[in-house]
């Protein structure tokens, strides 16, 4: 007997989820669990202009519910459609995409009514979702009605446990970057060492130009760092609503020529940015994980990150794969940028450390952790025979 799992995800835009779901689908070919993937919409409003929807990263059968942006679908229509999808699925286990929207509560209710096992993806941490009484009570209720949880890392595990989730029901890490189709670690190491041969100090930001990313903090710190390292440059990759304001800030700080806004990049052009940078800088006030850190480390590029980034415990080994600093502290970031320029001058040693650290955060490993969770939940539900075969299928 084959067990079945239906996984709901919010948007096709997420290449990294496409890579993980593709790996999960590949695993299912040799196991006793069959996965059905439902993508709710194509993209989200804040992703428009950053990069296009790329279906090539989704190498699995996909059921897409809505074209266009998630936010453009009327709430009543979204609730009705997702509730209907949960009610009609024959899966023994349903994996919900989150807990913070009304439609996710409707999906949870449909699972309860039809007595389907249910799990939920959680990408939050206590750093980006501070606990407040009015919001923590509904979250506790939602999580208490779930049979399992999939999180990005230790910080999401701690957040879930603070809201009543049992440790043995939390499965992490379920996060991995979607690298270019042509990517290989061997070539990446060669390209990294070649690009860093001259050793010019180049700082790199990759991401949306939005408030929570704290790019103002980065610009202020960079201006101070250049007083000691005048040859340093900063390259900003990404688009967003703050572009004009940040451009004016660069002019006010007299950083013209030292800061380049290069727009949105993907695949090989983005890889070249990682290869050529001394380090990535992610100064966010709020960052549940920080997938760009995964990308950077895969390219042999270390990362300077704020202590709010969820990936810090897993990916940032101080002085080896990166450095961290208190979010919003311009003085601390200034010192950290200057330290990074000296700390990571041995490109080969640093690249090896970065690539070794990130090796287990690949799509297949993330997929295996999702499967491990599905097996545990199905086994608890009485689908033990199929779940046991899946867990022993020679992973």
In tens, the pLDDT along 359-383 reads: 999 999 999 999 999 999 999 876 5
Question: Counting Cβ atoms within 10 Å, is residue 293 exposed (0-12), middle (13-18) or buried (19+)?
Answer: buried
Q: In whole angstroms, give the CA distance from residue 28 to residue 296.
A: 30
pLDDT of residue 150: 97
Locus of tokens 């070649």: 194
Phi and psi, residue 230, nearest 5°: -65, -20
Q: Helix, strand, or coil here: 316?
A: coil
Q: In whole angstroms, give the CA distance from residue 336 to residue 325.
A: 7
CA distances from 148 to 48, 143, 378 (A): 32, 8, 10
pLDDT of residue 228: 96
| 255-261 CB contacts, 8 Å cutoff, 24+ apart | 255/219, 255/222, 255/223, 255/226, 258/222, 258/226, 258/232, 258/233, 258/234, 259/219, 259/222, 259/233, 259/234, 259/235, 260/233, 260/234, 260/235, 260/236, 261/236
Contact 205, 264 (CB under 8 A): no
> What are the structural domain ranges in the chain?
3-176+362-391, 185-358
Locus of tokens 């389907």: 116
Range list of H helices, 29-132: 75-88, 102-114
Is the CA virtual torsion 238, 239, 240, 245 positive or negative? positive
Is the N-terminal amide bond of 139 cis, ω within 30° of 0? Answer: no
Pairing mode of beta strands 303-306, 279-282: parallel
pLDDT digits (tens, 9 = 90+) for 3-36: 999 999 999 999 999 999 999 999 998 878 999 9
How many beta carbons lie within 10 A of that of residue 13, not counting itself? 22
pLDDT digits (tens, 9 = 90+) for 327-363: 999 999 999 999 999 999 999 999 999 999 999 999 9
- Give the pair of three-digit tokens for residue 295: 């990308």
Contact 250, 257 (CB under 8 A): no
Locus of tokens 């996965």: 35
CATH architecture of the domain 3-176+362-391 equals 3-Layer(aba) Sandwich (3.40)
pLDDT of residue 126: 87
Locus of tokens 């390259």: 235
CATH fold match for the domains 3-176+362-391 and 185-358: yes
**Of the options 3.30.365.10, 3.30.9.90, 3.40.50.2000, 3.90.228.20, the CATH number for the domain spanning 185-358:** 3.40.50.2000
pTM: 0.94
Pairing mode of beta strands 33-41, 322-325: unpaired
* Exposure string for 295-305, b = 16+ CB within 10 A, e = fewer: bbbbbbbbbbb
Q: In whole angstroms, give the CA distance from residue 20 to residue 26.
A: 10
Question: Counting Cβ atoms within 10 Å, is residue 372 exposed (0-12), middle (13-18) or buried (19+)?
Answer: middle
CA distances from 302 to 229, 274, 286, 329, 375 (A): 19, 9, 20, 20, 35
- Regions in the chain scoring below 50 on pLDDT: 384, 393-394
């Amino acid at each position: 007997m084959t067990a079945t799992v239906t996984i709901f995800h919010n948007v096709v835009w997420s290449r990294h989820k496409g890579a993980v779901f593709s790996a999960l689908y590949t695993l299912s070919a040799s196991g006793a669990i069959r996965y059905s993937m439902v993508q709710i919409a194509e993209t989200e409003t804040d992703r428009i202009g950053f990069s296009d929807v790329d279906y090539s990263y989704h190498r699995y059968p996909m059921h897409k519910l809505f074209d266009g942006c998630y936010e453009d679908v009327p709430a009543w229509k979204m609730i009705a459609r997702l509730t209907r999808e949960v009610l009609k699925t024959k899966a023994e286990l349903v994996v919900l995409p989150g807990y913070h929207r009304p439609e996710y509560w409707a999906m949870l209710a449909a699972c309860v009514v039809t007595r389907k096992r249910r799990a939920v993806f959680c990408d939050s941490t206590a750093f980006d979702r501070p606990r407040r009484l009015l919001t923590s009570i509904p979250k506790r209720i939602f999580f208490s009605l779930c049979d399992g949880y999939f999180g990005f890392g230790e910080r999401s595990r701690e957040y879930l446990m603070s809201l009543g989730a049992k440790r043995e029901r939390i499965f992490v890490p379920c996060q991995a970057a979607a690298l270019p189709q042509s990517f290989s670690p061997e070539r990446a190491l060669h390209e990294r060492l070649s690009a860093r041969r001259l050793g010019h100090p180049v700082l790199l930001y990759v991401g949306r130009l939005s408030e929570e990313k704290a790019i103002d903090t980065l610009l202020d710190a960079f201006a101070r760092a250049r007083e000691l390292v005048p040859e340093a440059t900063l390259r900003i990759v990404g688009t967003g609503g703050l572009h004009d304001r940040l451009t004016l800030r660069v002019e006010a700080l007299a950083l013209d020529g030292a800061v380049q806004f290069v727009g949105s990049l993907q695949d090989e052009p983005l890889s070249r940015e990682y290869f050529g940078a001394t380090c990535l800088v992610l100064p966010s006030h709020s960052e549940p994980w920080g997938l760009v850190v995964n990308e950077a480390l895969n390219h042999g590029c270390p990362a300077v990150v704020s202590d709010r980034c969820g990936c810090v415990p897993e990916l940032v080994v101080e002085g080896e794969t990166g450095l961290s600093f208190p979010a919003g502290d311009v003085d601390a970031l200034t010192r950290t940028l200057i330290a990074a320029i000296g700390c990571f001058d041995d490109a080969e040693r640093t690249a090896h450390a970065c690539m070794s650290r990130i090796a287990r955060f690949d799509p297949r490993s993330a997929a295996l952790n999702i499967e491990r969770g599905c097996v545990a939940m199905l086994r608890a539900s009485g689908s033990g025979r199929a779940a046991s075969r899946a867990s022993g299928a020679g992973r």
